[in-house]
Amino acid sequence: MRTVNMHEAKTHLSRLVQAAVDGEPFVIARAGKPLVKVTSIEARGGAEGRRTGFMAGEISVPPDFDRMGRREIEALFEGDEVTLRDA
């Protein structure tokens, strides 16, 4: 990934933004220290895009997931002590 300094980014912002839109993100640095990564909001695919559903069928969520650890969480908010045996 290309790194540009702050002065170059200000001077060539339009060109750099177009490159990011075209799928070439870049990093802006100040005094050699990377500060921000500029990338397109609407990625047009590619290796950096999110792969929705890539783990479909690989994991399972227990039916009581929304109740797991309920007693411990309630105790944290109410200030009570709960041991693992009580849960």
CATH label of the domain that carries residue 7 = 3.40.1620.10
Specify the pairing of strand 33-38 against strand 26-30: antiparallel
**pTM of structure:** 0.48
Number of domains present in the structure of the chain: 1
Report yes or no on 7 lying in a domain: yes
Distance CA 25, CA 28 (A): 10
- Give 11-60 pLDDT, tens digit per residue: 999 999 999 999 999 999 999 999 999 999 875 555 556 678 888 888 88
Domain residue limits at 10: 2-38
Report yes or no on 20 lying in a domain: yes
Q: Write phi, then psi, for 78 (nearest 5 degrees).
A: -95, -10
Report yes or no on 65 lying in a domain: no
